[in-house]
Amino acid sequence: MTYQSGIPIRFPKCGSGLLIFLLITLVPTLTAAQSSRSKLEGMWSDPPATTVGAFCFFLCTDAGIERLNALLDDPANDARPFAQLQDEARKHEREFIRLRLTDAALKTYPVDQADNPSFLRCEPPGLAQQMFMPHQLEIRARGNDRVEFRYGEWEARRTIYLDSRKRPANQPPTKMGESVGHWDGETLVVETSGIAAGIAGWPQVLAFSAQHSDQLRIVERYTRSTDGTTLMMTATVEDPWSLREPLVLKKIWRWAPESKIAPYKDCQLPTEFSKGVQQ
């Protein structure tokens, strides 16, 4: 048995030529996978204090970022407060998203907070809400064939399987779905299906908050910046019931090794709310 980076590698009895071939091909592959994984592992939290970081605090799109940058680059806006420019870019982004929604989804778009079970009944949200909530995201390897995501909001946990498994055809959908991942260089790619119908986005504050069906499929790409200080998620969302075409959403976290995820105990049921009023 040979050890490489703490991984036991068993080689069958064979000729020296085959053994050398295995050493040359298998060991670097395992080492590279471990190296990529370790670069994402750890605690991430609220985004950096930059214009894009503030804009992508929950989620954002390239269309929204481009609009915000155009507004910031225009000398005519030099005296306008950033919050005002951000709101204008958000309106542009909301329209960009609206044009990609089906008639079925537009009936309830944007989703009212009064129709959000997480708000009304303190129910843990589904994946398409959870992944865009603020605060911490902890990433940890659990052996060689899985990665665990742990979120600060609701202290939700999610397992990413790296063993190329297929979701059973008769498996009922769940709130978090089933996630299978692989490494594309130093980027973790995660494909999730089997997500129960629910809400995408966050009705409380987001420009994007729409109902989705159980046909929802999400492909996420997680990449750490070259300086190691930020983590970017690019999520391609597909759902034939709610979307006319795939929608690409983004979110940014800041490296925060000092941050801790506390038990989630502070959810309080609303005592007063009005439909049509975002709380």
The candidate with the shortest Cα–Cα distance to 235, out of 221, 245, 224, 225, is 221
Residue 274 in any domain: the answer is: no
Does residue 192 sit within a domain?
yes
Cα–Cα distance measured from residue 146 to residue 196, given in angstroms and rounded to the nearest whole number: 22
206 has pLDDT over 70: no
| 164-180 confidence digits (pLDDT tens) | 888 888 899 999 999 99
Identify the residue with better confidence: 140 or 277.
140
User: pLDDT-based confidence at 22, cuts 50/70/90?
Assistant: very low
With respect to residue 135, please indicate whether it lies within any of the assigned structural domains. Answer: yes
Q: Is the predicted pLDDT of residue 239 greater than 60, yes or no?
A: yes
Q: Give the tokens for residue 65.
A: 């970022």
Count: domains in the chain: 1
Q: How far apart are CA 56 and CA 75, in angstroms?
A: 23
Q: What is the mean pLDDT of residues 229-237?
A: 97
Contacts of 236 (CB under 8 A, 6+ apart): 218, 219, 220, 246, 247, 248
Q: What are 184-195's pLDDT values in tens digits?
A: 999 999 999 999
Q: What is the pLDDT of residues 33-43, one digit of tens each?
A: 555 567 899 99
Answer whether 128's CB lies under 8 Å from 118's CB.
no
Residue 142, token pair as written in the block: 């659990």
Is residue 18 in a domain? no
Q: Following DSSP, what letter does each residue of 190-233 receive, concatenated?
A: EEEE-BPSEEEE-TTT-S-EEEE-TT-EEEEEEEE-TTSSEEEE
Q: 194 in a domain, yes or no?
A: yes
Phi, psi of 135 (to 5 degrees): 80, -150
Phi–psi pair at 80, nearest 5 degrees: -85, 140
Q: How far apart are CA 7 and CA 31, in angstroms?
A: 9
Q: What's the CA gap between 41 and 59, in Å, rounded?
A: 21
Average pLDDT of span 216-230: 97
Q: Is the pLDDT of residue 207 over 80?
A: no
State residue 204's pLDDT score: 54
Q: Closest Cα to residue 58, out of 201, 238, 246, 231?
A: 201
Mean pLDDT across the stretch 114-143?
Answer: 87
CA angle 59-57-162, nearest 5°?
60
Question: pTM for the complete prediction?
Answer: 0.82
Task: Kindly report the number of other CB atoms within 10 A of residue 61's CB atom.
Answer: 23
Whole-number Å distance between alpha carbons of 255 and 28: 28
* Residue-range definition of the domain harbouring residue 232: 42-255
Whether residue 19 lies inside any domain: the answer is: no
The mean of the pLDDT values for the chain is 85
Domain-embedded: residue 1 = no
* 105-116 pLDDT per residue, tens: 999 888 887 777
Residue 273 lies in a domain: no
